[in-house]
Amino acid sequence: DVNCLSSWLLFSGQQVGSLDELFKQRFYNCIRQSNYVLADGYLDGLEVISESFHQLLPRFRGKEKVLLILDPPYLCTRQESYKQANYFDLIDFLRLIHLTKPPFIFFSSTKSEFIRFIEAMVEDKWDNWQVFNEVNRITVNASTSYNGKYEDNLIYKF
């Protein structure tokens, strides 16, 4: 998996779209020096699906034992590191918000306007506001450099 390899080998969240691109990069020395602890059976019965949210979310709406883990590109930020075929724009973001139903985990940061958006959505009672009313939020202070500080957010509702 190119995404896993790039997260292990490249510096500070840099990503590539292919192995050829990876081989052209300078590697960062962060490879484990010991084996991982075995977790046999940990993911038994789990089905991982990777497809556009446009098709995925409606297909799983209302089904039991489904947890949506949503980590879209941050709204109003540069998206070069995502290396995806199509740009995730404001229209995609609004469609994702419209399709989201609990239970979900939504990742965001103060690099984007997501928190302000859902606060305004609930306050002004925009379409689908009930889904984001009384969500839970976990915040972690993070930094990419000495001056590059921000908050990572995990928003969830079960």
Number of domains in the chain: 2
Q: Are residues 26 and 70 in the same domain?
A: no
Instruction: Kindly provide the residue ranges of all beta strands, DSSP E only, lying in 1-157, ordered along the sequence.
Output: 68-70, 104-109, 136-143, 149-157
Q: Are residues 2 and 69 in the same domain?
A: no
Q: Are residues 102 and 24 in the same domain?
A: no
Q: Are residues 103 and 153 in the same domain?
A: yes
Per-residue pLDDT, 74 = 67
Q: What is the pTM of this model?
A: 0.67
Q: Are residues 103 and 138 in the same domain?
A: yes
Cβ-contact 105, 155 below 8 angstroms: yes
Q: Are residues 10 and 56 in the same domain?
A: no
pLDDT tens profile 17-33: 888 888 888 776 656 77
Q: Are residues 66 and 114 in the same domain?
A: yes
Which residue segment(s) compose the domain that 132 sits in?
47-157
> Which three-class secondary structure state does DSSP give residue 67?
coil
